[in-house]
Chain A
């Protein structure tokens, strides 16, 4: 029955002409920004991460007012490999946020800052890696070594 098969075809493919349509999610594509946009995304992520660290940090430090023993117990609980890796992440986040923060200040206040923003972004990345190369091995030796 040709009629029925045509109907069935129309039902299985209500839109478009090829089955490729069905594989596509209806969401829009990700905006393909360049260095400037991704530097901002990283700045946001590291900023939020630092905020949550500071929140916890203020809470655990304020334990000192409660009792030194409670403070020692909580700080002692941090001395695990997982927290050690977390500390590495914290230094990485603060390092990027600080370096890129200087870049953002220069973009806004240096007369040719907007012109050199891409170069400054890659400088930030290079300095960030140098910083982490100096810090990470030493820190991980402390965490995982004796």
Chain B
């Protein structure tokens, strides 16, 4: 139809913006301290912060180091602090940021900085392993049958199944910044996913682990984790449910 052709924007018509990114760089072989470096990149409103990082790495400075795998908000590799808040670079659109000011990008906080935007994730995964994030079911089911679950039973832990282990929540937690021993929101979310699963038989063990001094009682309900989660998990609510399960003595 002629009208449709007339309305379709020509490639030249799409407006691009000059965006300044200020990135906290750190090269352990050269720098004693992290330093801020700024880059100007031409971006479209529909581009993401990850695209800006790609443009910098591919066209301006190949030494810029960051993690990304799927680039579509599923793998959880590119959590970083964008304008002071933990976000996934692949889910943060340029149009949602105030580009009249520079965009500050830095590594997530509370985990050892390795290089530029990369941190050592081992302490994070260690806490996850500690809560035994897998189905514990020793009882035998009837031959040929599955472990059935009602819709209501499934709904109890639906929210916490969405976690992609990006560490945005754990590294947004003020308690975790100062007390690296704290299990952190992500580990509790993944414990919650099995504690409230009716098929699971390891709830008592996990509740016991999280009843530790460095367990759920370290949570000060600052809600930074709930606000940072790129999957929209109500993390503080999940932690609160685990607290109540510990007090009840059962999920």
**Which A residues are within 8 Å of any B CB, using their own CB?**
15-18, 20-21, 24-26, 28-37, 39-40, 104, 107-109, 113-115, 117
Contact = CB atoms under 8 A, between A and B. Distances in A.
Contacts of B22: 24
Interface in B32-72: 33-39
B243 A26 contact: no
A37 B224 contact: yes
B119 to A, nearest CB: 12
B174 interface: yes
Interface of B: 22, 24-25, 33-39, 81, 83-85, 104, 106, 109, 172, 174, 220-224, 226-227, 234, 236-237, 240, 243-244
A117 B227 CA distance: 12
Contacts of A39: 222
Nearest to B26: A26
A29 B223 contact: no
A33 B222 contact: yes
A32 B85 contact: yes
A85 to B, nearest CB: 30
A20 B234 CA distance: 39
Given A31-B172, A114-B236, A40 B35 contact: no
Nearest to A16: B37
B246 to A, nearest CB: 12
B221 A18 contact: no
Nearest to B177: A31
Contacts of A17: 37-39
A40 B220 contact: yes
A117 to B, nearest CB: 6
A96 to B, nearest CB: 15
Contact of B34 (A26, A30, A37, A40): A26
Contact of B174 (A16, A20, A29, A40): A40
A36 B33 contact: no
Contacts of A33: 172, 174, 222-224, 227
Given A21-B36, A36-B224, A31 B240 contact: no
Nearest to A104: B221
Given A40-B174, A114-B221, 10 more contacts: A16-B36, A17-B39, A33-B172, A33-B224, A37-B174, A40-B222, A107-B221, A108-B243, A117-B221, A117-B236
A104 B243 CA distance: 13
B234 A114 contact: yes
5 contacts: A16-B37, A17-B38, A28-B109, A29-B83, A107-B240
B223 A34 contact: yes
Given A16-B38, A37-B174, A108-B243, A26 B33 contact: yes
